[in-house]
Structure 1
Amino acid sequence: MEQTIIQVDAFTDRPFKGNPAAVCVLAEPRDAQWMQQVATEMNLSETAFLVQQEDSFQLRWFTPEVEVELCGHATLASAHVLWQEGYLSPDSEARFSTLSGILTARRNTEWIELNFPADPPQAVTPPVILLEALNVQAIAVGKGKFDYVVEVENEQQVRELTPKLTQLQEIPARGIIVTSRANPGADYDFVSRFFGPSVGVNEDPVTGSAHCLLAPYWSQKLQRNTLIGYQASKRGGLIRVQLQGDRVILGGQAVTVFKGTLFE
Protein backbone atom coordinates (compact mmCIF):
# COMPACT_ATOMS: atom_id res chain seq x y z
CA MET A 1 0.00 0.00 0.00
CA GLU A 2 0.99 3.61 -0.56
CA GLN A 3 0.08 6.56 1.66
CA THR A 4 0.47 10.26 0.92
CA ILE A 5 2.22 12.15 3.69
CA ILE A 6 2.56 15.93 3.81
CA GLN A 7 4.91 17.96 5.98
CA VAL A 8 3.71 21.38 7.06
CA ASP A 9 5.46 24.12 9.03
CA ALA A 10 2.88 25.50 11.46
CA PHE A 11 2.69 28.84 13.25
CA THR A 12 4.76 30.50 10.55
CA ASP A 13 4.31 31.97 7.07
CA ARG A 14 7.78 30.88 5.91
CA PRO A 15 9.28 27.43 5.32
CA PHE A 16 11.80 26.14 7.86
CA LYS A 17 10.34 28.21 10.69
CA GLY A 18 7.60 27.45 13.20
CA ASN A 19 6.88 23.84 14.10
CA PRO A 20 6.92 21.03 11.51
CA ALA A 21 4.22 18.36 11.57
CA ALA A 22 3.51 15.44 9.27
CA VAL A 23 -0.09 14.88 8.17
CA CYS A 24 -1.60 11.63 6.83
CA VAL A 25 -5.20 11.65 5.58
CA LEU A 26 -6.11 7.96 5.67
CA ALA A 27 -8.64 6.24 3.43
CA GLU A 28 -9.57 3.96 6.36
CA PRO A 29 -8.58 3.63 10.03
CA ARG A 30 -5.21 2.11 10.83
CA ASP A 31 -4.06 0.49 14.07
CA ALA A 32 -2.18 2.49 16.69
CA GLN A 33 1.00 0.44 16.33
CA TRP A 34 1.30 1.36 12.65
CA MET A 35 0.63 5.04 13.36
CA GLN A 36 3.26 5.03 16.09
CA GLN A 37 5.78 3.42 13.74
CA VAL A 38 5.14 6.11 11.13
CA ALA A 39 5.50 8.87 13.73
CA THR A 40 8.76 7.35 14.93
CA GLU A 41 9.99 7.16 11.34
CA MET A 42 9.09 10.81 10.69
CA ASN A 43 10.83 11.81 13.95
CA LEU A 44 8.95 15.11 14.24
CA SER A 45 7.39 16.37 17.44
CA GLU A 46 3.98 15.31 16.07
CA THR A 47 2.53 13.28 13.22
CA ALA A 48 -1.23 13.64 12.66
CA PHE A 49 -3.55 10.97 11.26
CA LEU A 50 -7.02 11.81 9.95
CA VAL A 51 -9.96 9.66 8.88
CA GLN A 52 -13.07 11.26 7.39
CA GLN A 53 -16.29 10.64 9.31
CA GLU A 54 -19.87 11.71 8.64
CA ASP A 55 -19.58 15.26 10.02
CA SER A 56 -15.93 15.53 11.09
CA PHE A 57 -12.46 14.06 10.75
CA GLN A 58 -11.14 11.74 13.42
CA LEU A 59 -7.75 13.18 14.40
CA ARG A 60 -4.99 11.47 16.38
CA TRP A 61 -1.54 12.81 17.23
CA PHE A 62 1.66 10.85 17.86
CA THR A 63 5.10 11.97 18.99
CA PRO A 64 8.04 9.70 18.11
CA GLU A 65 7.30 7.82 21.34
CA VAL A 66 3.64 8.17 22.43
CA GLU A 67 0.13 9.19 21.43
CA VAL A 68 -0.93 12.49 23.02
CA GLU A 69 -4.33 13.91 23.97
CA LEU A 70 -3.93 17.38 22.49
CA CYS A 71 -1.69 19.07 19.93
CA GLY A 72 -2.09 22.55 18.48
CA HIS A 73 0.45 22.77 15.69
CA ALA A 74 -0.45 19.41 14.14
CA THR A 75 -4.14 20.40 14.23
CA LEU A 76 -3.27 23.65 12.47
CA ALA A 77 -1.27 21.66 9.92
CA SER A 78 -4.15 19.20 9.47
CA ALA A 79 -6.67 21.97 8.75
CA HIS A 80 -4.23 23.54 6.30
CA VAL A 81 -3.90 20.21 4.43
CA LEU A 82 -7.66 19.59 4.32
CA TRP A 83 -8.24 22.96 2.61
CA GLN A 84 -5.14 22.85 0.42
CA GLU A 85 -5.76 19.30 -0.86
CA GLY A 86 -9.47 19.83 -1.51
CA TYR A 87 -10.94 17.66 1.22
CA LEU A 88 -12.83 20.77 2.38
CA SER A 89 -13.85 23.91 0.53
CA PRO A 90 -11.87 27.01 1.57
CA ASP A 91 -14.84 28.58 3.36
CA SER A 92 -15.78 25.40 5.29
CA GLU A 93 -15.10 24.90 8.98
CA ALA A 94 -12.82 21.96 9.78
CA ARG A 95 -14.20 19.77 12.58
CA PHE A 96 -12.03 17.25 14.38
CA SER A 97 -13.07 14.42 16.70
CA THR A 98 -10.20 13.93 19.15
CA LEU A 99 -9.24 12.62 22.58
CA SER A 100 -9.90 16.19 23.77
CA GLY A 101 -13.40 16.36 22.28
CA ILE A 102 -14.54 18.26 19.20
CA LEU A 103 -12.04 20.85 18.00
CA THR A 104 -12.66 23.23 15.12
CA ALA A 105 -10.63 25.37 12.75
CA ARG A 106 -11.65 28.14 10.40
CA ARG A 107 -9.85 30.40 7.97
CA ASN A 108 -9.55 34.13 8.65
CA THR A 109 -7.74 35.69 5.68
CA GLU A 110 -4.20 34.22 5.77
CA TRP A 111 -4.62 32.95 9.32
CA ILE A 112 -6.14 29.77 10.72
CA GLU A 113 -8.04 30.00 14.01
CA LEU A 114 -8.32 26.92 16.22
CA ASN A 115 -11.00 26.61 18.90
CA PHE A 116 -9.43 24.70 21.82
CA PRO A 117 -10.30 24.08 25.49
CA ALA A 118 -8.75 26.52 27.96
CA ASP A 119 -6.52 24.98 30.64
CA PRO A 120 -6.17 27.50 33.50
CA PRO A 121 -3.23 26.41 35.68
CA GLN A 122 -3.49 26.10 39.44
CA ALA A 123 -0.69 27.39 41.66
CA VAL A 124 1.37 24.50 43.05
CA THR A 125 4.47 23.83 45.08
CA PRO A 126 6.90 22.54 42.45
CA PRO A 127 8.83 19.30 42.77
CA VAL A 128 12.35 20.09 43.97
CA ILE A 129 13.80 18.45 40.87
CA LEU A 130 11.85 20.81 38.59
CA LEU A 131 13.61 24.02 39.61
CA GLU A 132 16.91 22.18 39.96
CA ALA A 133 16.63 20.96 36.38
CA LEU A 134 15.75 24.42 35.09
CA ASN A 135 18.27 26.22 37.34
CA VAL A 136 16.01 29.30 37.63
CA GLN A 137 14.39 31.41 40.32
CA ALA A 138 10.66 31.07 39.75
CA ILE A 139 8.21 33.94 40.25
CA ALA A 140 5.35 31.44 40.17
CA VAL A 141 4.72 27.78 39.33
CA GLY A 142 1.42 26.35 38.16
CA LYS A 143 0.08 23.04 36.86
CA GLY A 144 -2.51 22.47 34.17
CA LYS A 145 -4.04 19.26 32.85
CA PHE A 146 -0.87 18.26 31.02
CA ASP A 147 1.98 20.62 31.83
CA TYR A 148 3.79 22.62 34.48
CA VAL A 149 4.25 26.35 33.86
CA VAL A 150 7.16 28.22 35.44
CA GLU A 151 7.22 32.02 35.27
CA VAL A 152 10.63 33.68 35.45
CA GLU A 153 11.66 37.31 35.77
CA ASN A 154 12.43 38.30 32.19
CA GLU A 155 12.67 37.28 28.56
CA GLN A 156 16.44 36.90 28.64
CA GLN A 157 16.15 34.13 31.23
CA VAL A 158 13.66 32.29 29.01
CA ARG A 159 15.85 32.60 25.93
CA GLU A 160 19.10 31.60 27.66
CA LEU A 161 17.66 28.61 29.53
CA THR A 162 19.59 25.35 29.20
CA PRO A 163 17.66 22.79 31.26
CA LYS A 164 18.91 19.40 32.36
CA LEU A 165 16.67 17.27 30.18
CA THR A 166 17.42 13.97 31.91
CA GLN A 167 16.05 15.43 35.14
CA LEU A 168 13.03 16.98 33.44
CA GLN A 169 12.24 13.56 32.01
CA GLU A 170 11.59 12.29 35.55
CA ILE A 171 8.83 14.83 36.23
CA PRO A 172 5.31 13.34 35.93
CA ALA A 173 3.93 15.72 33.30
CA ARG A 174 3.68 15.92 29.54
CA GLY A 175 5.86 19.02 29.46
CA ILE A 176 7.39 22.01 31.17
CA ILE A 177 6.58 25.54 30.00
CA VAL A 178 8.93 28.36 30.99
CA THR A 179 7.52 31.84 30.40
CA SER A 180 7.90 35.55 31.14
CA ARG A 181 6.53 38.90 30.11
CA ALA A 182 7.92 40.19 26.82
CA ASN A 183 10.67 42.79 26.75
CA PRO A 184 9.38 46.38 26.65
CA GLY A 185 8.55 47.41 23.10
CA ALA A 186 8.26 43.86 21.76
CA ASP A 187 5.50 43.11 19.25
CA TYR A 188 4.24 40.28 21.46
CA ASP A 189 3.01 40.16 25.07
CA PHE A 190 4.73 37.13 26.54
CA VAL A 191 7.44 34.66 25.62
CA SER A 192 7.76 30.95 26.33
CA ARG A 193 9.66 27.75 25.68
CA PHE A 194 8.38 24.18 25.98
CA PHE A 195 10.29 21.07 27.03
CA GLY A 196 8.76 17.58 26.80
CA PRO A 197 11.50 14.94 27.12
CA SER A 198 9.12 12.52 28.83
CA VAL A 199 7.12 12.24 25.58
CA GLY A 200 10.14 12.19 23.29
CA VAL A 201 10.29 15.93 22.50
CA ASN A 202 13.27 17.58 24.16
CA GLU A 203 12.20 21.07 23.06
CA ASP A 204 9.14 21.73 20.93
CA PRO A 205 9.57 24.62 18.46
CA VAL A 206 6.06 26.14 18.78
CA THR A 207 3.45 24.49 21.00
CA GLY A 208 -0.16 25.44 20.33
CA SER A 209 -1.62 23.34 23.15
CA ALA A 210 0.71 24.97 25.70
CA HIS A 211 -1.03 28.25 24.86
CA CYS A 212 -4.30 26.76 26.13
CA LEU A 213 -2.60 27.19 29.51
CA LEU A 214 -0.61 30.34 28.73
CA ALA A 215 -3.67 32.25 27.46
CA PRO A 216 -5.62 32.16 30.73
CA TYR A 217 -2.40 32.55 32.74
CA TRP A 218 -1.30 35.76 31.01
CA SER A 219 -4.84 37.02 30.48
CA GLN A 220 -5.28 37.15 34.25
CA LYS A 221 -1.91 38.80 34.82
CA LEU A 222 -2.13 41.35 32.01
CA GLN A 223 -5.90 41.91 32.31
CA ARG A 224 -6.52 41.39 28.59
CA ASN A 225 -8.30 38.59 26.75
CA THR A 226 -6.47 39.04 23.42
CA LEU A 227 -2.71 38.56 23.43
CA ILE A 228 0.22 37.50 21.26
CA GLY A 229 2.73 34.91 22.42
CA TYR A 230 6.17 34.22 20.99
CA GLN A 231 7.77 30.82 21.50
CA ALA A 232 11.51 31.46 21.60
CA SER A 233 12.89 28.19 20.26
CA LYS A 234 15.56 28.14 17.56
CA ARG A 235 12.84 28.06 14.89
CA GLY A 236 10.46 30.37 16.77
CA GLY A 237 6.85 31.27 16.07
CA LEU A 238 4.00 33.65 16.93
CA ILE A 239 0.61 32.55 18.24
CA ARG A 240 -2.37 34.86 18.59
CA VAL A 241 -4.51 33.88 21.56
CA GLN A 242 -7.98 35.01 22.57
CA LEU A 243 -9.61 33.77 25.76
CA GLN A 244 -13.35 33.16 25.36
CA GLY A 245 -14.72 31.74 28.60
CA ASP A 246 -13.58 28.14 28.84
CA ARG A 247 -12.19 28.14 25.27
CA VAL A 248 -9.08 29.59 23.66
CA ILE A 249 -8.86 30.74 20.06
CA LEU A 250 -5.34 30.02 18.75
CA GLY A 251 -4.36 31.87 15.60
CA GLY A 252 -1.49 30.89 13.34
CA GLN A 253 -0.33 30.44 9.78
CA ALA A 254 1.00 27.39 7.96
CA VAL A 255 3.01 26.51 4.87
CA THR A 256 3.51 23.16 3.12
CA VAL A 257 7.16 22.09 2.89
CA PHE A 258 6.87 18.82 1.00
CA LYS A 259 4.47 16.11 -0.13
CA GLY A 260 5.58 12.53 -0.55
CA THR A 261 4.54 8.89 -0.67
CA LEU A 262 4.97 6.46 2.20
CA PHE A 263 5.58 2.89 0.99
CA GLU A 264 4.40 0.38 3.58
Structure 2
Amino acid sequence: MVELCGHATLAAAHTLFSRGLVNSNIIEFVTLSRILIAKKVPDVKAKLQNGETKDCYFIELDFHTVPTADFNAAEVSLICKALNFSSIVDMKITTTSKDIFVIPPNPKLFDLNAMCFILSLKSVTEVQPQIDEILKCPGRGIIVSGLAPLESRFDLYSRFFCPKFGINKDPICGSAHCAFAFYWSQKLG
Protein backbone atom coordinates (compact mmCIF):
# COMPACT_ATOMS: atom_id res chain seq x y z
CA MET A 1 0.00 0.00 0.00
CA VAL A 2 1.31 3.48 -0.89
CA GLU A 3 0.79 6.20 1.71
CA LEU A 4 1.25 9.05 -0.74
CA CYS A 5 1.46 9.21 -4.52
CA GLY A 6 2.30 12.62 -5.93
CA HIS A 7 1.62 11.57 -9.53
CA ALA A 8 -1.90 10.35 -8.74
CA THR A 9 -2.69 13.36 -6.57
CA LEU A 10 -1.52 15.78 -9.24
CA ALA A 11 -3.50 13.96 -11.95
CA ALA A 12 -6.65 13.89 -9.82
CA ALA A 13 -6.33 17.60 -9.01
CA HIS A 14 -5.80 18.45 -12.68
CA THR A 15 -8.89 16.48 -13.68
CA LEU A 16 -11.04 18.09 -11.00
CA PHE A 17 -9.82 21.63 -11.78
CA SER A 18 -9.79 21.37 -15.59
CA ARG A 19 -13.27 19.84 -15.82
CA GLY A 20 -14.80 22.34 -13.41
CA LEU A 21 -15.73 19.63 -10.94
CA VAL A 22 -14.77 21.79 -7.94
CA ASN A 23 -15.83 25.34 -7.13
CA SER A 24 -12.64 26.22 -5.31
CA ASN A 25 -8.98 26.81 -5.98
CA ILE A 26 -8.09 24.38 -3.20
CA ILE A 27 -8.74 20.64 -2.96
CA GLU A 28 -8.01 18.59 0.15
CA PHE A 29 -7.09 14.97 -0.50
CA VAL A 30 -7.17 12.48 2.34
CA THR A 31 -4.11 10.23 1.99
CA LEU A 32 -2.77 7.50 4.23
CA SER A 33 0.01 9.87 5.34
CA ARG A 34 -2.14 12.98 6.02
CA ILE A 35 -4.34 15.53 4.27
CA LEU A 36 -2.62 16.79 1.13
CA ILE A 37 -3.70 20.13 -0.30
CA ALA A 38 -3.65 20.83 -4.03
CA LYS A 39 -3.85 24.52 -4.85
CA LYS A 40 -4.69 26.02 -8.24
CA VAL A 41 -2.17 28.83 -8.78
CA PRO A 42 -2.91 31.23 -11.66
CA ASP A 43 -0.36 31.67 -14.43
CA VAL A 44 -0.30 34.36 -17.09
CA LYS A 45 -3.12 34.13 -19.60
CA ALA A 46 -2.11 32.25 -22.71
CA LYS A 47 -3.27 33.41 -26.10
CA LEU A 48 -4.74 30.82 -28.39
CA GLN A 49 -4.17 30.88 -32.17
CA ASN A 50 -7.54 32.54 -32.78
CA GLY A 51 -6.63 35.43 -30.45
CA GLU A 52 -8.79 34.29 -27.53
CA THR A 53 -7.26 33.97 -24.11
CA LYS A 54 -7.36 30.97 -21.85
CA ASP A 55 -6.79 30.78 -18.11
CA CYS A 56 -3.67 28.82 -17.35
CA TYR A 57 -2.57 27.62 -13.95
CA PHE A 58 -0.10 25.54 -12.02
CA ILE A 59 -1.04 23.02 -9.38
CA GLU A 60 0.91 23.34 -6.15
CA LEU A 61 1.00 20.36 -3.77
CA ASP A 62 1.90 20.86 -0.12
CA PHE A 63 4.02 17.79 0.53
CA HIS A 64 5.08 17.26 4.11
CA THR A 65 8.59 16.28 5.09
CA VAL A 66 9.45 12.75 6.13
CA PRO A 67 12.33 12.33 8.56
CA THR A 68 15.11 9.91 7.80
CA ALA A 69 16.91 7.73 10.32
CA ASP A 70 20.25 5.99 10.38
CA PHE A 71 20.30 2.75 8.43
CA ASN A 72 22.03 -0.49 9.30
CA ALA A 73 25.61 -0.20 8.05
CA ALA A 74 25.71 -3.98 7.60
CA GLU A 75 23.45 -3.54 4.57
CA VAL A 76 25.86 -1.23 2.69
CA SER A 77 27.38 -4.01 0.59
CA LEU A 78 23.91 -5.24 -0.46
CA ILE A 79 22.87 -1.71 -1.48
CA CYS A 80 26.18 -1.08 -3.29
CA LYS A 81 25.71 -4.31 -5.26
CA ALA A 82 22.13 -3.38 -6.18
CA LEU A 83 23.20 0.06 -7.44
CA ASN A 84 26.61 -0.91 -8.89
CA PHE A 85 28.40 1.46 -6.49
CA SER A 86 31.84 0.84 -5.07
CA SER A 87 30.95 2.94 -2.03
CA ILE A 88 28.22 5.14 -0.56
CA VAL A 89 28.69 8.56 1.05
CA ASP A 90 25.60 8.36 3.24
CA MET A 91 22.64 6.04 3.66
CA LYS A 92 19.43 6.60 5.62
CA ILE A 93 15.97 5.05 5.79
CA THR A 94 12.71 6.97 5.65
CA THR A 95 10.69 6.71 8.83
CA THR A 96 7.36 6.14 7.09
CA SER A 97 7.64 4.09 3.90
CA LYS A 98 11.01 2.51 4.79
CA ASP A 99 12.68 3.63 1.57
CA ILE A 100 16.46 3.49 1.60
CA PHE A 101 17.93 6.90 0.87
CA VAL A 102 21.41 6.77 -0.73
CA ILE A 103 23.95 9.47 -1.48
CA PRO A 104 26.47 8.27 -4.12
CA PRO A 105 30.11 9.38 -4.12
CA ASN A 106 31.61 11.96 -6.45
CA PRO A 107 34.46 13.99 -4.95
CA LYS A 108 34.60 17.75 -4.58
CA LEU A 109 32.60 20.40 -2.66
CA PHE A 110 30.21 19.08 0.01
CA ASP A 111 31.36 18.47 3.58
CA LEU A 112 29.70 15.37 4.95
CA ASN A 113 31.28 13.55 7.88
CA ALA A 114 34.58 15.41 7.31
CA MET A 115 34.79 14.33 3.66
CA CYS A 116 34.29 16.75 0.77
CA PHE A 117 31.90 15.83 -2.01
CA ILE A 118 29.91 17.44 -4.76
CA LEU A 119 27.11 15.15 -5.72
CA SER A 120 26.39 15.89 -9.33
CA LEU A 121 23.83 15.08 -11.95
CA LYS A 122 26.22 12.54 -13.43
CA SER A 123 26.53 10.54 -10.19
CA VAL A 124 22.74 10.22 -9.97
CA THR A 125 21.76 9.80 -13.62
CA GLU A 126 24.43 7.23 -14.38
CA VAL A 127 23.25 4.80 -11.70
CA GLN A 128 22.89 1.38 -13.34
CA PRO A 129 20.62 -0.42 -10.88
CA GLN A 130 20.34 -4.19 -10.77
CA ILE A 131 16.58 -4.57 -10.38
CA ASP A 132 16.85 -8.22 -9.27
CA GLU A 133 19.29 -7.17 -6.54
CA ILE A 134 17.06 -4.28 -5.40
CA LEU A 135 14.29 -6.82 -4.88
CA LYS A 136 16.56 -8.53 -2.31
CA CYS A 137 17.20 -5.29 -0.41
CA PRO A 138 15.31 -4.33 2.73
CA GLY A 139 12.71 -1.59 2.60
CA ARG A 140 10.19 -0.57 -0.04
CA GLY A 141 12.55 1.03 -2.56
CA ILE A 142 15.79 2.96 -3.04
CA ILE A 143 16.06 6.73 -3.48
CA VAL A 144 19.33 8.00 -4.98
CA SER A 145 19.93 11.72 -4.59
CA GLY A 146 22.72 14.22 -5.04
CA LEU A 147 23.30 17.95 -5.09
CA ALA A 148 23.07 19.75 -8.40
CA PRO A 149 26.14 21.59 -9.67
CA LEU A 150 26.26 25.18 -8.43
CA GLU A 151 25.87 26.57 -11.96
CA SER A 152 22.60 24.72 -12.58
CA ARG A 153 19.21 26.16 -11.72
CA PHE A 154 18.36 23.15 -9.57
CA ASP A 155 19.08 22.26 -5.96
CA LEU A 156 19.40 18.50 -6.32
CA TYR A 157 18.77 15.46 -8.47
CA SER A 158 17.09 12.19 -7.64
CA ARG A 159 15.92 8.85 -8.93
CA PHE A 160 13.70 6.27 -7.30
CA PHE A 161 13.75 2.51 -7.78
CA CYS A 162 10.81 0.54 -6.41
CA PRO A 163 10.49 -2.81 -8.21
CA LYS A 164 8.63 -4.32 -5.24
CA PHE A 165 5.71 -2.09 -6.31
CA GLY A 166 6.24 -2.64 -10.05
CA ILE A 167 8.10 0.65 -10.54
CA ASN A 168 11.58 -0.28 -11.67
CA LYS A 169 12.68 3.30 -12.39
CA ASP A 170 10.82 6.48 -11.50
CA PRO A 171 12.63 9.70 -12.41
CA ILE A 172 10.54 11.64 -9.89
CA CYS A 173 8.52 10.53 -6.91
CA GLY A 174 6.43 12.71 -4.59
CA SER A 175 6.94 10.57 -1.51
CA ALA A 176 10.70 10.44 -2.18
CA HIS A 177 10.74 14.25 -2.31
CA CYS A 178 9.21 14.30 1.18
CA ALA A 179 12.25 12.43 2.47
CA PHE A 180 15.08 14.09 0.62
CA ALA A 181 13.68 17.58 1.27
CA PHE A 182 14.06 16.79 4.97
CA TYR A 183 17.55 15.32 4.55
CA TRP A 184 18.98 18.05 2.30
CA SER A 185 17.43 20.94 4.24
CA GLN A 186 19.33 19.74 7.30
CA LYS A 187 22.59 19.48 5.35
CA LEU A 188 22.23 22.77 3.47
CA GLY A 189 20.41 24.87 6.09
Q: TM-score, normalised by structure 2?
A: 0.77
Q: State yes or no: 1:99 paired with 2:46.
A: no
Displacement of 1:123 after TM fit?
2.1
Report the counterpart of residue 165 of structure 1 in structure 2: 131
Partner of residue 9, structure 2:
75
Give, in whole Å, the separation in 1 of the partners of 2:7 and 2:92. Answer: 23
Q: Distance in 1 between matches of 2:31 and 2:150?
A: 39
- 1:108 deviation in Å? 1.9
Aligned with 1:130 (options 76, 79, 86): 79
Structure 1 residues 85-96: aligned runs within 5 Å: 85-89=19-23, 91-96=24-29
CA shift, 1:182, in A, is: 0.5
- Deviation of residue 187 (structure 1)? 0.6
The equivalent of 1:59 in structure 2 is none
1:113-262 correspondence runs (5 A) = 113-126=60-73, 127=75, 128-136=77-85, 137-144=87-94, 145-146=96-97, 147-152=99-104, 153=106, 154-155=119-120, 156-223=122-189
Shift of 1:125: 2.7
Q: Could you tell me whether the CA contact under 8 Å between 1:168 and 1:197 is conserved in 2?
A: yes
When Rg is computed on C-alpha atoms for both structures, the one with the higher figure is 2
Which protein is richer in helix relative to its size? 2
Alignment identity in percent?
Answer: 40
State how many pairs are aligned: 156
The one-letter code sitting in structure 2 at the alignment partner of 1:149 is: F
Mapped partners of 1:217, 1:118: distance in 2? 9
1:151-205: CA deviation from partner (whole Å, max 9, x where unpaired): 1233211111101110101223221011111023011011111100111100013
In the TM superposition, residue 80 of structure 1 has moved relative to its aligned partner by 0.9
Conserved 8 A contact 1:123-1:140: no
Q: Distance in 2 between matches of 1:114 and 1:103?
A: 7
Please give the alpha-carbon distance, in whole angstroms, between the structure 1 residues aligned to 2:168 and 2:59.
27
Q: Give the match's secondary structure for 2:132.
A: helix
The AA in structure 2 aligned to 1:177 is I
What CA distance in whole angstroms lies between the structure 2 residues aligned with 1:184 and 1:118?
Answer: 24
Which 5+ residue runs of structure 2 have no aligned equivalent? 43-56, 107-118
| Residue identity matched to 2:59 | I
2:115 alignment partner in structure 1 = none
Q: Give 5+ residue unaligned stretches, structure 1.
A: 1-66, 224-264
Whole-Å separation in 1 of the counterparts to 2:144 and 2:137 = 15
Aligned to 1:75, what secondary structure does the other structure show?
helix
TM superposition shift of 1:101: 2.6
C-alpha distance in 1 between matches for 2:9 and 2:127: 28
What SS does the aligned partner of 1:162 have?
A: coil
